[in-house]
A and B are shown apart, each in its own frame.
Chain A
């Protein structure tokens, strides 16, 4: 099959179909700011994020320092009986002062129960965590692991999606990573009688630990 020929045919069909209206096809200037389309609450971005992400079934904890994190995380691990962890990011492992006695630590992407990762941008209005394939975790780990622990910092929080795209474009001026992931909440479905069920193919539980910078 000649793909080039098909390309020409399709493009020719399109330009032929549009021919009578060439005059009206000048791009319009669209000046509307997207973030003005949504209801804006008076809360600051941090509280707004905590509210919106909690509504989506994510547990979020605001922390002052690593000591606070350590004791909290230890309790959560003990309560849930988690035993197999992946924190492939060595610098994150170190800065969180994670305890290697907490359980088994592995770099195996497929055989772990809990994945601990960072994130790139946090969107307050929609409760969205942005990650990308350029991070050390890659594509599989954050979506395949049953429990996802996300470490976030307050200065990663922006108000809405337009701000997030601005940050991302600034960060990746030389070209986007092959994949950008905007996750808002816990993997879910309504495919059986519109009943909300959480934990379909992605993580069943998501925790966000939010640090002051």
Chain B
């Protein structure tokens, strides 16, 4: 068992028995569930909409190179600049080069999981650039020095009292403020930061190849301000976020809103096609889009894994996952938690260190059921398990156990040889720990079913 896997087990155990954590997560995820049920009422036939979304994403991913080049051509024609990055290092070096050229001191950011993936903030801060997260949830996480807990709701694990205490400690405001008052504090604190910032960095929800634009979805208005005040706008995205046409947003905006936050459509959906035009009132003078690979092309090369690139990062699979609910976001020790995180993390960060996440599942299939682009999430977890076995990342003990199991199972005689007491002994040696301290070790019948059956038949004759 590697260090990360050990840590995963320890952290999971801690969270599972933390009643306070359970209470907060149950409350928050219950709210998500209720909103989702309301949001999906807008669809005449949700499964048909999902099927269509899957078809569009499948086609877009199968023609990824063509669509990315088309996006680049159109966006460049609009006056924007496209930067391609093989990995995280190239992406943050590109950001740093822009910041240097612009003499930037302050960066405001709207929500972006890709920048979490490449740890952009710490890289810029180390170069004396002030980085300010402006999404309320991200702002809360930045103040408390923690990574996001959920890909859509970064501070889902914090109670209002905890946020109030945090604001009191870090910003010097009164303690015990209500969510409304806390939101006002954030609005006030961040207003001036938008106005002063030199560079605005955003994520991207959809890359639109036909018009050379990027679509950004949010509810608060911070992304609108990040893209309005600073003279430079840098949008960073994984290459998989492609949609062939701006018209596809008629499906993907409502689908993302319903699955992400239970709305018909999110409050602010913006499309940016480039920097400010000469005749426009305001806006950035330069706009850059950074297209990041960072091992997505490796996922692309695996025909079975490929569909995981259809993900629109709505977070619905996290909301319904019994594992996520019980162990929480940080236990995954990966930027992307929950089912989709368990599927892609081993491919983004290494199968050797992260293959244990493939087992962080009950295989109940709730994730697959809810996914708006019909990714076979629990199937892909099995695919990862197989891959980690093929790559021989499993322990000697496990390998030996399977060997012994197979040999025994192939022989009736051997199976009957192992009586109940031996089974109990073997079970204790092999599974006592993973069975869990809270459960009793099962007892086995003294004789095998085969033996019992024979005896019964003999008796009756």
Interface presence of A39 (CB below 8 A)? yes
User: For chain B residues 302-360, which have a beta carbon within 8 Å of chain A?
Assistant: 303
Interface presence of B428 (CB below 8 A)? no
Interface presence of A200 (CB below 8 A)? yes
Interface contact B281-A136, CB-CB below 8 Å: yes
Interface presence of A128 (CB below 8 A)? yes
Tell me the bound Cα distance from A177 to B137 in angstroms: 31
Interface contact A25-B183, CB-CB below 8 Å: no
Interface contact B43-A191, CB-CB below 8 Å: no
Our pick among B56, B179, B247 for the contact of A197 (Cβ within 8 Å) is B179
Which residues on the B side are within 8 Å of A188 (C-beta)? 219-220, 267
Interface contact B93-A182, CB-CB below 8 Å: no
Interface presence of B460 (CB below 8 A)? no
Interface presence of B180 (CB below 8 A)? yes
Interface presence of B203 (CB below 8 A)? no
Interface presence of A15 (CB below 8 A)? yes
Which residues on the A side are within 8 Å of B291 (C-beta)? 10
Which residues on the A side are within 8 Å of B62 (C-beta)? 18, 21, 24-25
Which residues on the B side are within 8 Å of A24 (C-beta)? 62
Our pick among A1, A14, A27 for the contact of B297 (Cβ within 8 Å) is A14
Tell me the bound Cα distance from A87 to B228 in angstroms: 19
The size of the chain A interface, using a CB distance under 8 A, is 78
Identify the stretch in A59-67, A70-78, A159-167 within 8 Å (CB) of chain B at 4 or more residues.
A159-167
Which residues on the B side are within 8 Å of A203 (C-beta)? 221
Chain A 1-23 interface 0/1 with B at a Cβ cutoff of 8 Å (1 = within): 10100110111011111101100
Which residues on the B side are within 8 Å of A213 (C-beta)? none
Tell me the bound Cα distance from A188 to B84 in angstroms: 34
Interface contact A193-B224, CB-CB below 8 Å: no
Interface presence of A184 (CB below 8 A)? yes
Interface centre among A6, A30, A190 (most CB of B within 10 A): A190
Interface presence of B437 (CB below 8 A)? no
Identify the stretch in B152-160, B362-370, B392-400 within 8 Å (CB) of chain A at 4 or more residues.
B152-160
Interface contact B78-A175, CB-CB below 8 Å: yes
Tell me the bound Cα distance from A14 to B62 in angstroms: 10
User: For chain A residues 74-93, which have a beta carbon within 8 Å of chain B?
Assistant: none
Interface contact B65-A192, CB-CB below 8 Å: no
Our pick among B44, B135, B228, B303 for the contact of A139 (Cβ within 8 Å) is B228
Interface contact B276-A52, CB-CB below 8 Å: no
Interface centre among B158, B219, B249 (most CB of A within 10 A): B219
Interface contact A192-B49, CB-CB below 8 Å: no
Which residues on the A side are within 8 Å of B118 (C-beta)? none
Which residues on the B side are within 8 Å of A14 (C-beta)? 64-65, 68, 239, 293, 297, 300
Given the contacts A25-B63, A37-B44, A9 and B276 also touching, CB distance less than 8 Å: no
Interface contact B140-A191, CB-CB below 8 Å: yes
Which residues on the B side are within 8 Å of A187 (C-beta)? 219-221, 267-268
Chain B 360-382 interface 0/1 with A at a Cβ cutoff of 8 Å (1 = within): 00000000000000000000000
Chain A 162-192 interface 0/1 with B at a Cβ cutoff of 8 Å (1 = within): 1001000000000111111111111111111
Q: How far is the CB of B377 from chain A (nearest CB, A)?
A: 21
Interface contact B267-A186, CB-CB below 8 Å: yes
Tell me the bound Cα distance from A96 to B213 in angstroms: 35
Tell me the bound Cα distance from A166 to B447 in angstroms: 74
Interface presence of B418 (CB below 8 A)? no
Tell me the bound Cα distance from A195 to B225 in angstroms: 23
Our pick among A37, A126, A135, A177 for the contact of B43 (Cβ within 8 Å) is A37
Interface contact A7-B281, CB-CB below 8 Å: no
Q: List 21 A-B contacts (CB under 8 A).
A: A11-B68, A17-B298, A27-B63, A30-B56, A38-B44, A126-B265, A127-B264, A143-B228, A161-B250, A161-B254, A177-B277, A177-B280, A178-B277, A179-B227, A186-B267, A191-B136, A192-B160, A193-B28, A199-B184, A201-B187, A201-B190
Known interface pairs A6-B90, A11-B65; 19 further A-B residue pairs with C-beta atoms within 8 A, sorted by A's residue number: A10-B297, A14-B300, A27-B63, A30-B52, A133-B282, A134-B280, A137-B281, A138-B281, A139-B280, A140-B229, A143-B228, A162-B247, A181-B270, A183-B268, A188-B219, A189-B137, A190-B261, A199-B187, A200-B222
Closest 5 CB pairs of A and B: A202-B221, A138-B281, A17-B301, A191-B137, A194-B31
